[in-house]
Amino acid sequence: MKKKIEPPHLIFLLLLTACNPSPKPTPEPTPRPRAAAFATPTSTARPFDYYLLNLSWSPEFCHSHPNAIECTQHSTFVLHGLWPQSNSGTYPENCSTQSGPRNPAAYSDIYPDLGLLVHEWRTHGTCSGLSPDAFFTLARTAFRSVAIPPELSHLDHQISMPPGQILDLFAAANPSIPRSSFALSCGNNYLTAIEVCLNKNAQPTPCGPIRSCRANTVRITPP
């Protein structure tokens, strides 16, 4: 029986295949993990009923703190804080040691003083149940929602008026905020702050137990 002889070109192909086995398939690259949106952990919420938005009268503060950063701007009302409050008249403070926002400079429009921002977060923001960025975004929204009466925003000399009249000016300048949501703070018969009571969505709510200034007349110093 004759032995089958393979053609030369077929023998060459068989030898080439033996020396160069088929390469293994290239594995698919491992996908990169996606950053979770809004994955910032929230602070420790404590029971509270509403927020108290405190807007300090800058000229009075700057009278005793002339070198403060915010005093170079000669502002009228500036944001002091957004404070959780309870209907019982109490309020939670210092609820956790969670760090504040990663980029505090993002809120320099409402807190030019970094020290004040850190204080407000530690003392009040940690009790809100919100992440740092969510808390300060809410504070900015609340602050910008309050219009300053023109009688006070363009003040160029000291004036005096009863607390009720000041509250009337704010109610007139902010028709969407009831007068019952405003309160006034004073010290030694000088205006120190206007306060606005807001629910947890930054909508106006009656102030309830918040005590307003009881002076007969309040003096208002110009910027």
What residues are labeled active site?
80, 120, 124
Distance CA 61, CA 193 (A): 10
Q: At what angle do helices 132-144 and 114-123 cross, to 10 degrees?
A: 110
Rg (CA), the chain: 32
Give the CA angle between residues 5, 9, 10 to the nearest 5°. 60
Q: Which amino acid is at 118?
A: V
Backbone torsions φ then ψ of 193, nearest 5 degrees: -165, 155
